[in-house]
Amino acid sequence: MKITGPFKQIITLANLPLRGKLADEHLEIIENGGILSENGKIVDVGNFNGLKTAYPTAQIENITGSQVALPAFTDAHTHICFGGNRANDFAMRNAGKTYLEIAESGGGIWSSVQHTRAASEDELLKTTLERIHFLISLGITTIEIKSGYGLDVENELKMLRVIKKAQNFTKATLVPTCLSAHLKPRDFEGDNVEYLQYILNEILPKVKEENLAKRVDIFIEKSAFQPEESRNFLMKAKEMGFEITVHADQFTPGSSRIAVEVGAKSADHLEATADEDIDFIASSETVAIALPGASLGLGEKFSPARKILDKNGILAIASDWNPGSAPMGNLITQASILATFEKLSTAEVLAGITFRSAFALGLEDRGKLEKGKKADFVTFKTDNFQNILYQQGSLNAANVFVDGEKI
């Protein structure tokens, strides 16, 4: 049993609801606090001296200087297993080139597919771990990672095996997702429906057999997969026992409604969601995941986070870190900027990158500093937790704890 502290402030996020808007007055802030943990779980959170008195035999891990503690963050949407680099795409896009022009010049998702296919498992493992370590340095200890740059049996399985192998080299929790339905690869002989059937027949049974992922994703968009073929695919994947998530409403509206109708855990993007569909998703159990990194990378509008919260929806915020549209990877910076544009309270942002984003991954054992939760927390060298978002990602995490142990 160990007490970690004292902290100038502990922001517990305890007792906050899963859905809807939050005011900063709702935040529980423990001054001069400590966190008592044992066997990877939180036993108690309270006044540091009070904990020392109540648990006289507990080991003490002293925190020096003014620091604040919060639940560690969850990034519920990333594409950090990939080969190659698309800096040229970014430069061309900023110079006014269209998506089609970039693709014709050898860029776009297909460029990432070719580089990922060409990379060995060892090469992919090395770069994926580098990106995982960067996310951990931000205070993120739960990371969703998608496949989707292999787009055939051999390479989709290669990506998912790399993600599974990466778990052996990190204390962070990795949540793999099969995104073979990212788009139909150029070298597939057949139409969209035939490719989706190929995934169902050839890829997903092997994913299940090797226990490589429990989640399936699809990109529903004019340039990828159409609504009805996507619905049919998702229902069949669900029948196979997979949880569902959807890339929805990024450029055109309508697909978030499908996500809700098939019982998806989350609908991610939503930059183009129509007002009537905001009502629909907000009244459902499907989490709306805003991806401000994609808005910043593409110069597109942000997800309607304020409207979703005002309608009592469940809003999470994730980085979408990928080599094309969202190359930044800094969730704190992105969430801070989203807050500015969408007028989100500090409580709403913190909830969106902790327990609400963990819920989107089916994890309800983390994201709050309260008894019984996983003892994952992050500390910052400041005497005021508001500085974390105020400094928009430039205030670095001081310490990151997983299961109560500093990593």
> Can you tell me whether residue 96 is helix, strand or coil?
coil
Average pLDDT over all residues of the chain: 97
User: Read out DSSP for 273-327?
Assistant: --HHHHHHHHTSSSEEEE-HHHHHHHTPPPP-HHHHHHTT--EEE-----SSS--
The number of beta carbons lying within 10 Å of the beta carbon of residue 110 is 16
Same domain, 182 and 169: yes
Same domain, 85 and 168: yes
Which of 339, 360, 381 is the C-terminal boundary of a domain?
Answer: 360
Same domain, 96 and 163: yes
What would the mean pLDDT of 167-175 be, rounded to a whole number? 98
Same domain, 383 and 250: no
pLDDT at 100: 73
The pTM is what? 0.97
Q: Report the CATH number at residue 246.
A: 3.20.20.140
Number of residues that make up the chain: 407
Same domain, 109 and 229: yes
Give the chain's domain count: 2
pLDDT tens digits along 13-42: 999 999 999 999 999 999 999 999 999 999
Instruction: Please say if the pLDDT value at position 104 is more than 90.
Output: no
Same domain, 245 and 381: no
Same domain, 384 and 242: no
Burial status of residue 334 (CB atoms within 10 A of its CB: 0-12, 13-18, 19 or more):
buried
Band of pLDDT at residue 341, cut at 50, 70 and 90: very high
Residue span of the structural domain in which 64 resides: 2-72+368-406
Same domain, 81 and 159: yes
Band of pLDDT at residue 106, cut at 50, 70 and 90: confident
Same domain, 145 and 281: yes
Q: Report the CATH number at residue 24.
A: 2.30.40.10
What angle (nearest 5°) sits at the alpha carbon of residue 181, between those of residues 176 and 186? Answer: 125
Same domain, 158 and 219: yes
Same domain, 47 and 196: no
Cα(39)–Cα(6) distance, integer angstroms: 20
Cα(158)–Cα(161) distance, integer angstroms: 5
pLDDT tens digits along 46-83: 999 999 999 999 999 999 999 999 999 999 999 999 99
Give me the torsion for CA of 326, 186, 145, 211, rounded to 10°.
Answer: 180
Same domain, 113 and 235: yes
Query: How large is the C-alpha radius of gyration of the chain?
Result: 21
pLDDT at 190: 97
Residue 183's identity, in one-letter code, is: L
Strand partners, 407: none
